[in-house]
Amino acid sequence: MQGALAKKQPLQGRENFCMNNDIFHIAIDGPVASGKGTIARELSNRLGIPCLDTGALYRGIAVHIRDAELDANNESVVVDALQAIKMDVEIKDGITHVKINGKDATPFLRDNDISKITSIIATYRNVREFSTAKQQEIAKAHSFILEGRDIASVVLPDAKYKFYLTAKVKTRALRRIADLAATGTTVTMRDMKKQIKERDNRDTRKGGLEKVREAIVIDNTKLNVEQTIAKFLSYIK
């Protein structure tokens, strides 16, 4: 996201969200590097509602596939591996932590090769069903903010608020390059734009990415974090 995230006090009324016994959900869908995770975490802080990074579940599976040296392009191999996976998900300090068969996959979720593997395995029906069931299990007992590709269309079709967050390819490439640079990984703009376009195409065709008709579309190409948050909050009553 463009601009530093300003530290602000939670909005007045935060306690009302926390104390309300009614369960409701906020669904945020959008393409890779549109800023969904950053916005979901900040909304969580402002509203007092936990957020779940649904992509972390897919990435956790991808870490297992990589570490087991399995062929991510072989769907049957991935599906077979899925049968032996026990996934534990915990949200700590706004971050979604994933353990696969007792091993913490969280430190590796944003590795560039994991992003590539994730974009492949997320197109497999069995993988999506596995992840969707886990997401619904986590969200059913509490109000939640979920961000991903198919939250409003598949995971939580009855969500009270549905958003679609997007940005231009170049802006998203710059964000992803910055994220990787923070981990010591260097990728050229040309290569990153190519990766993002390929990911968008794959996500749209087979990865579940969908903008439902009733979703509120927010383009944050020219918005920083605070401005994007203000847009979201203007719709959340």
Longest dimension (CA), the chain: 51
In terms of Cβ atoms closer than 10 Å to its own Cβ (0-12, 13-18, 19+), residue 205 is: exposed
Find how far residue 126's CA is from the centre of its chain: 19
Does residue 11 form part of some domain?
Answer: no
As a whole number of angstroms, the distance between CA 182 and CA 80 comes to 35
Does residue 15 form part of some domain?
Answer: no
Does residue 97 form part of some domain?
Answer: yes
Does residue 12 form part of some domain?
Answer: no
Higher-confidence position of 93 and 160? 160
State the pLDDT at residue 94: 82
Does residue 74 form part of some domain?
Answer: yes
pTM of the model: 0.82
Q: Which two tokens stand for residue 231?
A: 């847009």
Range of the structural domain that residue 122 is part of: 25-235
pLDDT bracket for residue 206 (50, 70, 90): confident
| Average pLDDT across the chain, whole number | 90
For the chain, what's the residue count? 237
Over the stretch 125-151, which tens digit does the pLDDT of each residue have?
Answer: 999 999 999 999 999 988 999 999 999
**Phi, psi dihedrals of residue 70, rounded to the nearest 5°:** -95, 160
Per DSSP, the chain holds a count of helices (H) and strands (E) of 9, 8
SS3 83: coil
When pLDDT is averaged across residues 170-193 and rounded to a whole number, the result is 95
Identify the CATH number of the domain in which residue 114 sits: 3.40.50.300
Closest CA to 196 of 221, 174, 223: 174
SS3 87: strand
The structural domain count of the chain equals: 1
State the pLDDT at residue 7: 34
SS3 16: helix
Q: Which two tokens stand for residue 194?
A: 């190519």
Does residue 17 form part of some domain?
Answer: no
Does residue 13 form part of some domain?
Answer: no
Higher-confidence position of 57 and 15? 57
Residues with Cβ within 8 Å of residue 75, at least 6 apart in sequence: 124
- End-to-end C-alpha distance for the chain, whole angstroms: 24
Does residue 45 form part of some domain?
Answer: yes
